[in-house]
Amino acid sequence: MLIKEKLETFAFSPAETVVVDYLLTAPEALDQLSIQEIAAQTYTQPSTLVRIAKKLHFDGWKSFKKHYLEEWRYLNKHFTRIDPNLPFSSTDSLMTICKKMAVLDKMTIDDIFFLLDHDHLSQAKSLLLKANHIQIFSQNSNLLIAQDFALKMNRIQKNVTLSAVRGEENYDAYNLSPDACAILISYSGENPNLLALNTILRARNIPTIAITSIGENRLSQECTCFLPITTREKLYSKIGNFTINTSIIFLLNVLYALVFSEHYDAHLKHLKRIGELVDHRTISNAVMQENERTKKAPS
């Protein structure tokens, strides 16, 4: 749940409610105000602000203020032009829909890049490089998206498999070797099946990388490494999982690129060598022409 949502739904005392209303209506002002100044503007005491922070499970006011401002900036930084849930309307022309979908994808990439940070990406890279086997757990379309990641990783000899048989996920989790790593993908981060899997994996000391939404969901809090994705869509009141899918694809591509970069020359040499042996497609476009040999289009 987002901090904003907690402020809107948690039970507060009358004095706390006055402060909460101020926080919700004027978050942009917090950066320049001290706790004493906010208390003065709301006719309350600094201790009231501290109690609010504690109710929301923060160590104190400074911690709350930092995280609340970060969340507010994220929610207001991108997606000012297009609704990710309803990016086009019934009256839009063909090319207007095309343009809006292009803008939506671009905004999504900018959005997720804003969320990512060096330390978490570095941790994820380290976990993937150390693992002799990588298992992906998810459901429905997220598993389909992850297939491309598994294919690319397997081609550079990193063993990646998907738990694609419903009901077998727990067996897969218990059967993973101690030197494995797991990737769990869930937009809500509250999927009971994935949370149960994460519990199994944690008990077996198998590190988990969670690709999920922001907002302190259980999966993000209980995994080994949390990688956030764009968090703009409702669960079902929308046309499609456009920004979610784009985010997951982008993030998995980044993880693949990080692993590839560790042994860049060796991986590239391997792909070229195997490609020469197995890829016998004919081409008619010079852009696709390989330097090593000439592939002629059929007459």
Element (H, E) at 143: helix 141-155
User: Could you give the residue range(s) of every CATH 1.10.10.10 domain in the chain?
Assistant: 3-77
Can you give the C-alpha Rg of the chain in angstroms? 23
- What six digits make up the tokens of 101? 């979908």
**pLDDT tens per residue, range 215-267:** 878 999 999 999 999 888 888 899 999 999 999 999 999 999 999 999 999 99
Judged against a pLDDT cut of 50, whether residue 122 lies above it is answered with yes
DSSP E strand boundaries for the chain: 133-137, 160-162, 180-186, 208-212, 225-228
Q: How far apart are CA 260 and CA 264, in angstroms?
A: 6
How far apart are the C-alpha atoms of 291 and 182, rounded to whole Å?
38
Q: Determine how β-strand 208-212 pairs with β-strand 180-186.
A: parallel
Output the pLDDT for position 294.
Answer: 43
H-helix segments, 78-140: 94-115, 118-130
3-77 has which fold?
A: Arc Repressor Mutant, subunit A (1.10.10)
For residue range 126-144, list pLDDT tens digits in order: 999 999 999 999 998 899 9
Homologous superfamily of domain range 117-262? Glucose-6-phosphate isomerase like protein; domain 1 (3.40.50.10490)
Is this prediction's pTM over 0.85?
A: no
Give the closest residue to 133 by CA, choosing from 175, 194, 186, 189. 175
Chain center to CA of 159: 22
What share of the chain has pLDDT > 70, as a percent?
Answer: 95
**Confidence band (pLDDT; 50, 70, 90) for 124?**
very high
Intervals of CATH 3.40.50.10490 along the chain: 117-262
pLDDT in tens, 25-67: 888 888 889 999 999 999 999 999 999 999 998 989 999 998 8
